[in-house]
Each structure stands twice: as C-alpha cells, then as structure tokens.
Chain A
Amino acid sequence: MQRKITILLFIFCIGCDFGLNAPKEDANGIYLNLLSNTTLSIEGILRIYNNKAYIIGDYNLQVVNISDKVRPKSSDCYFVVGQEIKDAFINDPYFYIISPDTLFIKNINSLSQIVGKLALNTTVENIKINGNYAYIKTSVGNLLIINISSPSNPVLLGTVGFGKKIEDYIIEDKIGYLLFYNSLLVYDFSNPTQPLPIDISEITTYDGTGLKKNGEYLYRRGSFWGIYITKTKGQALESIRFLEFPREILDFDFDKYGIATDTSTLYLLNAQTPSYLCVIEKMLGRGYSLKTEGDYIYYLQNKSLIILKVEKLR
C-alpha cells in the first residue's frame, strides 16, 4: 500500500511589497509644483502681463519680473498716481488706472510718466478696456464710456445705465456680459453709448460678484458655494452646469486650466471640457487675486506672490 504525503511549506517571502509603500501620485499624474514664493512690499490686486506681475496696492505699485518663474525679481514700490487706486487694466502699451474719480493713462514701459488723464466727476470702482473704449463702472452701477483712441486725450462719451447695479461685467469683441444680482445680460456694444440687449439669463438667487470668461464659456460664482458655467452660443446664453464646492469660493480664474480658492484650499480645475468641469488637484492654501496663464498659476497670499506650475508625472 502506498501512501503519498505532500507537504508544501511557505518558508519565507523575499522582499514582499503589497503596495502599502507605493508612492502616491496625483489623479492622472497631474500635480501643482510650487515654483516660487516672492515676498512683496505691499498687498493689492494682481495683474499679469508680458512676463511681469503688477501688484497694485492702494497707493503703490510693485512690479515683479517673472521671466524666470523660479527666481522672480521684484522692483521697489513707487507711487503711481498719488491717489488711492481703485482698479487697473493693462491694454498694451498702456496702463489704465482709476482713482476714486479720475482716469490715468500711463505707458506701461515707463510708469513714472502720465500719458493721459480724465476727471470722471463721479466715484468709480472698476475699469475694463475693449478696443478703443474704456468701460468704467461707477459706484452706483452704471457704465462710463470713454474713448481712449487717443491716450493723451481720453474723452468721456456718456453714461449708460441699466436700471440696476452692475455687480460685474466683461466687455469682449463689442459684446458685453453684465452680471446683476438676479440676472446675467448680454448686450451689443457696437455703439458703446447705446448698447442693445441680446439675451438674458435669469438668476434665481443672489450670486454675488465674480465673472470670468474663457473662450465661449462664462464662469460666475454661485451663492450655493460653487461655480456656474454658462455657454455663450453666439451671443445667446445656455446654462451648462453648476460645480459645487465644500466652501464658498473666494476667487477664481480660467485659461488652459481653471483655478479657484476658498478659505483653505486651492483647486485646480479641468477647464478644457467645461461641460465636465471638475477638480483635478487640490492643495492646502488660501490666496486671492488668482490668475492663470497656460500651465502657470499666480496668486497673492498676504504679502507674497506665489507661482505654481501644473506638471504631469512621466
């Protein structure tokens, strides 16, 4: 009689690794790489133009050369217009600055010299430039239309009112997208002093300010802690979706990527398919005056200019 006994012994495992120590990657291998953190002399609003970051404080301006994103070079601060600065807009080669009641035009390559100046006789808050016209929002929510075809001699053409206060606005290619507390309106600004309404989109809840445009998509903050995405089909509006966030969004911007921030977190958004806008990376941080261009993200945090780059793991 034969008996056969088989004994299989597991003696040892060589270099077992069940993935517990595997390196962490980011979703789809995308991550935010901190390139630089530059200390500034002032706080303010941020404008990016031609490899320079302009930090516009209440009275001062600081320029940071960001040709080298890893080692930016900041200049000293200097007075710009001698008055409180409410807003600024760069339209090559001029720098348009508004103080509470005056428009100043400077050459961006020579900021010490005033090229043009115009008294506005009213309190203003924001300025946007499109073509040969400056659109300045007053504190009561009207628009001042100024001809800036001759920067040394800007001319006030008139004031346009809409019956309610503009919260935010974008003028692009003679089309204006005006955000009110309960509606988003599209106007034809072919005749700047007599804009014609094209389309209206009702907003059922007060959404606050914050309007950005990227391509044919409009993005605005929502009162339910998120971002609304609207498609501008031609000149009409089509609501696409609402992207929620766990907290109120303080600021955002869109270009190749979207960037948004709440009180504690910076969110990188996939802006290439707005219909499926979603968060592709997060990092702890809080900032304001967000700007994004290409793969780079710029924002201010206290008195620092932070530059990030969107990188892909290989």
Chain B
Amino acid sequence: MILLAFFITAASISGVVYDAETLNPVPFVSLFINNGAYGAITDSSGKFYTQLKAGNYKIKTSHVGYIGKTINVKLSPKQELELSIPVEKKTFKLEEVRVLGERILEPSFRGIDVKELKKLPFAELDFFRTLQSFPGVYSVSDLVGWLYVRGSTPDENLYLMDGGEIACPQHYFGAVSAFNVNLLKDVRFSCGGFPASYGDRLSAVLDVTTREGSSEKRVTKINADLLEAGIETEFPLSNNCSYIFSARKNYFKAIAPLVGIEDSTMILPAYQNFQNKLSFSLGKNNKISLSSLLMEDAASVSGSIIEDNGVNINWNNVSNTYVLNYYTTMLNQPLRTVIYHTYLSRYANWIDSTVKNKNKLLKKTGITQTGEFKFLKDKSLEWGISSSYLDYSIDDDLPVEFMGLEKWNIPIRLFADTSTTQYGAYLTLNTPVTSKITLSSGSRFDYSSLIDRAIMSPRLRLTYFYNPKTSFSIAWGYYQQFQAPEVLILAPGITPAKSNHYLIGIEREISKDIFGKIEFYENKISNLGYIFVDEKNMSISSNCSGYGFARGIETFVKKSFTNNFFGWGSCSFSKTRRTSLFNKNLTDFDADQPVSLNLIGVYTFGKYAISTTYRHSSGRPFTPIAGWWWNNRLGKWIMFKGPKNSERYPSYDRLDIKIEREFHISKTTGNIYFTILNVFQHRNVQFYDYIETQRQPIYMLPRLAFLGVDFTIF
C-alpha cells in the first residue's frame, strides 16, 4: 500500500547537465540530493532521471574538473520537473601553474580568464577596458580602450589573433573592441619583457586566441540592445570539422532621434564586425584552422558644431584580417605555421576653414613558422622564422597651428607611399642552471628592406625558485621597432627605435588560491622618430632624436574563485617622460599616471553574484592654453598653447557595480543583472574645451545604469 501510495504521488526530476562554456553535455556527473540522501548520475549524454516524493530538495553536482553547482527545487505531487544545469570548469591560470624546474615563468605575461572577464561590468562590450585594470596599463578615457603600457603609445604594442598580426583591433581609434568576447578562448597579455618570439615592437603584446566551434551540435545566440545587435552561431560540419561565426552591428543613428539627438549636431558612429573560425582536425597532432576578423566603422556629420564655422566631417575605417594556422609535429616536436593577411583602409576628411585629410592604407601579408625542440630531458629550444610584405601609404594634412606654422599659414602634408619586406628569426633556450635557477635566453633577428638593415634584439631572464611558493626573477630585453614609413620617407635610413627593459620581480603563492607579485621595471627608450619643421627649406623633415624613460613599481594580488569569491587588486607607482613625434622636448608622457589603483571583486552567494570594479589614478598631464592671439587674415582668435603637458587634470575615480541573479522558470534558466557605471558620478575630466578664453571641462562617462536579462530556452 505504501509502495502504491508512493507511485500515485511520486514526482520526478530529469534533465541534462551541460558545460556552461561549450554548452556540451557532461557525462557521468554525480548529483547529490539532500546531502546524499538521494542521488543520480548523468549518462553518456549528460542526462539524468530520478523519482522523488513531493517536497523540497537541494541538488548538488560533483564532477572532476567542474565546480560544484547547487540548486534548490520544490516538487509538487506528480510533478515532472525538467532541469538544465550548467556547470563551470575549474581552470588553471598561468600564475597558478608553476612547477619547479619544469616551467619557465614568462615575465609580465598575464593569462586572462575569459569567463572571469565576462563577469565584470562593461566587459561584454569591450574587453580591452578590462585590460586597463591590470598594473602597468593606463587608460586615458572611459570612451576609448587604447592600451598605454608602461610609458608606451598604442602603436608600440603588438596585437595578434591566432598568431597573425592585426592592423586594427578596435573601432574608432579604440572606442569599441572589434572582438566578440564570447569567441575568445585565451588572452595573453604582456606588459614588457616579452620573449624573442615577439618582435618589431617596443612595449607590449596582446595575443588573442579564438575558440573553435562546437563539435557536438549547433548553438545559436542572439544579442540585442539599444545600441547594437549581434548573432553568434557555431556548429559541426563533420566529425572533425567545426565552424563558428559572429556578426555585430550597431544602429545608433536609428536610435538617436528617438532619444532626442539630432543627426546634424553631433557625430553618430556606425560600426559592424564579423568574426569567424573554421577548424579541421586532420588526425592526431594535426589541426588546421582559418580565422578572420572583418570590421568597418564610419561617421559623418555636417552642420554648425563650431560656433562661427560650419563643419563637415566624413570618416570611414575598414580593416580585415585573415589567419591560417596549421599545427603538426615533426620528429615528435610541435610545429606551427601561421599565414596571415591584414588590411587597413582609413579615410577621414573634415572641412572647416580649410580642408584636412587623413588617409591611411596598410596591407601586410606574412608567414611564420615556430617550433619547440626539447632535449636532454629538461631543456628546450624555441625557434621561429618569419617573412612579411608590407604595403603602406599615408596622406595626412597637419594642422596649421602645428609647431608654429601659423606664421606661414601653410598646411603641411605628411605623405608616404612605400612597401617593404621584412624577415625575422629567433631562438630561445630554456634550461635549468641549477636545481633552483632557470635561465631563458634568446635573441631575435629582424631585417627590413626599407632601411636595408638587420637588427638583433637579445633577451635574458633568470628565475630563482626560493621555495615552491616563492620565486625571484630578473630580466633584461633589448627591443627594437622599425620606424614608421612616414618618418623613413622624410629621412631614409633612420635606425629603428629602441627600448631596454629591466625587470625585477617577486612572485609568491600566498595561499592555495591567492597569488601575489611585485615587479620593478625600468624602460629606457631611445631613437624615437621625430618630425620637425625645417624653417630654412620651409618643409618638414625627420630624425630619430626622440627618447624617454618609464620606471615604476607594480603590485598585483589575485584570488582565484574559492569560497564564492574571486578578484584582484593592483597598485602601481610610476613615472614616464618622453618626447613625442612632433615635440622634441622631454615632457611628462601623455598617459603618465604616477599613482594607479585597481580593485576588482566578484562575490557569489546563492543565486546572486555581485561584481565591483574600482579604479583610481592620478590626473593625466595636459597642455594648457597660454592664451589667444588674433589673426587678422583669418579673422579669428587663434589658440596659443603653453608648455606641453605642464598641467594635470584632476584625479580619476570610478566605481562600477554589477548585480546578477540566476533564476529558473519551468524549462528556462537565466540571469537577470543590473549594472551601474560610475556609481558615485565622479566627474572625471576628459579634456577642456575652449570657446575663445572660456574653458569648459568635458567629462567622461556619467553615472549610467542598465538592466539586462539572459535567457536559455530549450
């Protein structure tokens, strides 16, 4: 009778446990119900089924390699509840994987967990901004994601996607990233001291690896908000072939009139990007993939923006990058071949009292082959060769006020149209010196046909493992970057820009889930290109007399996800002074921020998660307006600048908060989240706008709040 009564009122729970990242079902996951009073286990398809009496249950998943997930459910009599339970992988960060004697710690490289990154406020729109929360990386504005790293300019950084160079990874000079963060698999970022496998850059490396499409089934995601819409889809083409595709487009111009913004009064941007990857598995240790990133942005405005001058602006920027990767082995050693082509076409034209143009065309095609040869049990020799062909042209009208040209009132044109072939090769030897000391030494050779010169850039790093949790390292690297073609055209044969990186670092595992690092660095930069006015010939010329330095101390502490919390904090003290392309005087660097503090934390409790991002930094330097002078010929007041970067904006402060909550409704799971940017509405000054002698501060982002909902429907 009891048994009959049970079957009459029995309820059931069924469903599937799936990987939250790949969406693939996870087989053989244990389900503990009410602390083991009941249980179930998923089959090879990730599905489970169990019968229970009506009542309240707590279900907890357990599987090697996955973080346990807890769900509370309430069963009514005869209810057949279906669940879809996402589980997250436990991942190992670069900072966590350190084995004495077997692994060389790479200086200043950070492996960034994409899943952690997506939890932060604003990261889904532009992951470049989250890089700005790391020490050594400075932000100059809330509105752009440029990377100013340890005293360098963004053009001194190397951007790679799947091993191929990208000409332009951001829309509008950095306003929005062209990458879809959901298609990223791995992000490696180096602030300096990077190994010989990277070259022709002075400062930092961002190496992005995109993920492959699902090999199990088709998955489609559609995104839409007030600013942009996007679609992602991934599916298997065969047993050993998969494809993933993403498209995003904004429609701000269509929305702006609805919120009272007229087309004729401000620049309304329009952008779109497409990202895809086709992957083939050709057998054991053989894989080939073809990935691409296509992007375009445009803007146009006409009307009276300036009080007494009509203005017409047109902007169009197109960049396409294609990368072919082939992985194989040779003599049981890994071998990788990358063939890439990147293209950038930028056109800008604006008309006020004069016509100004800024046009740039870049095409680069290259091939690299890299490998690693392991020998004598604990030594390895990394090697690589590369070849590339660059086609480059630039046509810029420099402003009349540029470098005192106002007395001539002649617009100077910066023009270059050239091509060059570059070859490169590197060798890096990694070897233990003693049981506690490891050495990584290498060198890179590069040749450019434009200056018909070969350069050598050695790198050296010594690491001392004081104990399994503590290590000390010192590193030195000599970096060179060929001058921009527009500099070389004016003075052929100028030697490359140079930078010496000196690093001393201490790393320690403070506990099993807390990692800390202190790093001292000094970068000495020389031979920077400098363009100046040749008054005798009334023309412009160039040389390599620019120089500068950056030095500082950075601290970084990170806690991995345990006890419902993960986060990191960084603090840096630095000083950077350098000349610029058009100014030979040594001044405070444009992005110099002597003090910088970043605090990031994500806390989960039950179905809720709160993430916060706080950033404080010193004000950036700016060039004040010394005054105005009247130009009778133009009939207007001309701005007269004071000493470059002689004053500073007020300090920068910003706190962002994001609150998420999971929910389950019938067959639906999802998240609802609420984000507030700049919680305290701190007025961070972007720049000063001048209307004759009246100065008006223009602020960065105000306090912004938005609500989001995330649905998963089966």
Q: What residues of chain A have their CB less than 8 Å away from a CB belonging to chain B?
A: 1-19, 22-29, 224-226, 243-246, 269-270, 273, 276-282
Question: For B686, what are the chain A residues with a Cβ–Cβ distance below 8 Å?
Answer: 19
26 CB contacts below 8 A, A to B, read: A2-B217, A8-B709, A10-B227, A14-B704, A15-B703, A17-B681, A17-B699, A17-B702, A22-B697, A22-B698, A22-B699, A23-B696, A24-B694, A25-B696, A27-B694, A28-B625, A243-B629, A244-B631, A270-B627, A273-B626, A276-B626, A276-B627, A278-B629, A279-B628, A279-B637, A280-B628
Instruction: Please tell me if B390 contacts chain A, counting CB pairs below 8 Å.
Output: no
Consensus secondary structure, chain A interface: mixed
Contact B695 A225 (CB under 8 A): no
Contact among B632, B697, B706 for A225, CB-based, below 8 A: B632
Report, nearest first, the 3 A-B pairs whose CB atoms are least far apart. Answer: A278-B627, A8-B225, A280-B627
Question: For B705, what are the chain A residues with a Cβ–Cβ distance below 8 Å?
Answer: 11-14
- Asked whether A7 and B709 contact (CB < 8 A) given A245-B630, A276-B640, A280-B626, the answer is yes
- Asked whether A10 and B225 contact (CB < 8 A) given A2-B219, A281-B693, the answer is yes
Question: For B626, what are the chain A residues with a Cβ–Cβ distance below 8 Å?
Answer: 28, 270, 273, 276, 278, 280
Question: For B624, what are the chain A residues with a Cβ–Cβ distance below 8 Å?
Answer: 27-28
Contact A26 B693 (CB under 8 A): yes
- Minimum CB distance partner of B647 in chain A: A28
Contact B627 A269 (CB under 8 A): yes
Instruction: Please tell me if B469 contacts chain A, counting CB pairs below 8 Å.
Output: no
Question: How far, in angstroms, from A224 to B624 measured CA to CA in the complex?
Answer: 29
- Minimum CB distance partner of B690 in chain A: A27
Question: For A243, what are the chain B residues with a Cβ–Cβ distance below 8 Å?
Answer: 629-630
Contact B703 A28 (CB under 8 A): no
- Asked whether A14 and B676 contact (CB < 8 A) given A1-B218, A5-B221, A7-B708, the answer is yes
Question: For A269, what are the chain B residues with a Cβ–Cβ distance below 8 Å?
Answer: 627
Contact among A4, A12, A22, A226 for B219, CB-based, below 8 A: A4
Question: How far, in angstroms, from A17 to B223 measured CA to CA in the complex?
Answer: 28
Question: How far, in angstroms, from A289 to B227 measured CA to CA in the complex?
Answer: 60
Question: For B637, what are the chain A residues with a Cβ–Cβ distance below 8 Å?
Answer: 279
Question: How far, in angstroms, from A245 to B630 measured CA to CA in the complex?
Answer: 5
Contact A244 B632 (CB under 8 A): yes
Question: For A23, what are the chain B residues with a Cβ–Cβ distance below 8 Å?
Answer: 696-697
14 further A-B contacts with Cβ under 8 Å, apart from A12-B705, A16-B704, are A1-B218, A1-B714, A3-B713, A4-B23, A6-B711, A8-B224, A9-B706, A14-B704, A22-B696, A22-B697, A22-B699, A26-B695, A27-B624, A276-B640
Question: How far, in angstroms, from A93 to B640 measured CA to CA in the complex?
Answer: 43
User: Looking at B630, B632, B647, B710, which has the most chain A CB atoms within 10 Å of its CB?
Assistant: B630
Question: For B223, what are the chain A residues with a Cβ–Cβ distance below 8 Å?
Answer: 6-8
A-facing residues in B207-240 (Cβ within 8 Å): 217-227
Question: For B84, what are the chain A residues with a Cβ–Cβ distance below 8 Å?
Answer: 2
Question: How far, in angstroms, from A2 to B222 measured CA to CA in the complex?
Answer: 12
Question: For B226, what are the chain A residues with a Cβ–Cβ distance below 8 Å?
Answer: 9-10
Instruction: Please tell me if B562 contacts chain A, counting CB pairs below 8 Å.
Output: no
- Asked whether A279 and B693 contact (CB < 8 A) given A8-B224, A28-B624, A246-B630, the answer is yes
Question: How far, in angstroms, from A252 to B305 measured CA to CA in the complex?
Answer: 35
Question: How far, in angstroms, from A15 to B709 measured CA to CA in the complex?
Answer: 23
Contact among A3, A7, A25 for B695, CB-based, below 8 A: A25
What distance in Å separates the Cβ of B698 from its nearest Cβ neighbour in chain A? 5
What distance in Å separates the Cβ of B385 from its nearest Cβ neighbour in chain A? 43
Question: For A15, what are the chain B residues with a Cβ–Cβ distance below 8 Å?
Answer: 681, 702-703
